[in-house]
Amino acid sequence: MNERIKELRTILGLSAEKFGSRVGVTRSAISRIENGVVNVTEQMILSVCREFNVREEWLRNGSGEMFLDFTEDEFSKAAATLSNDSFVRSLIVEYWKLDEDSKQLFRDFIHRLSDNMRRQE
């Protein structure tokens, strides 16, 4: 479960501090959870699922989809909590709609793009 917390935070593009503040804990608490120093509490499970619309079954045991099914409007509302930039919100919404294979292709593309940008600098 600790690794899934980190995966979720990474996918959402949130720092440990921002993620923690959304669920009522400190950056260091998130770091200890992600590094397996402490286990995820029942309260943390409920907070993460509620705050980020995560399926409890996925968080607990990794089965099924990460997020609850959303309507397009709900996707937009959730994305609005992550960014004020309309382009970023649209990107988040479209990313969430992708199947897991397509998400992985997109992540690979972004990594290659950022690697190329760093080499050019």
71 phi/psi in degrees, rounded to 5? -80, 165
Distance in angstroms (rounded) separating the CA atoms of residues 44 and 98: 27
The DSSP code sequence of 12-69 is: HT--HHHHHHHHT--HHHHHHHHTTSSPPPHHHHHHHHHHHTB-HHHHHH--S-SBPP
20 token code pair: 């923690």
Contact 12, 19 (CB under 8 A): yes
Instruction: Report the interhelical angle of 42-52 vs 2-12 (nearest 10°).
Output: 20
43-60 residue pLDDT tens: 999 999 988 889 999 999
Mean pLDDT, to the nearest integer, of 34-49? 94
pLDDT exceeds 90 at position 75: no
Angle (CA) 56 58 62, round 5°:
145
Predicted confidence at residue 82, as pLDDT, reads 77
**pLDDT in the model for residue 100:** 82
Q: Which two tokens stand for residue 101?
A: 């294979």
Tokens of 53: 């619309």
Place 7 in a pLDDT band, splitting at 50, 70 and 90.
very high
4: nearest Cα among 50, 47, 70, 66:
66
Q: Does the pLDDT value for residue 117 go beyond 70? A: yes
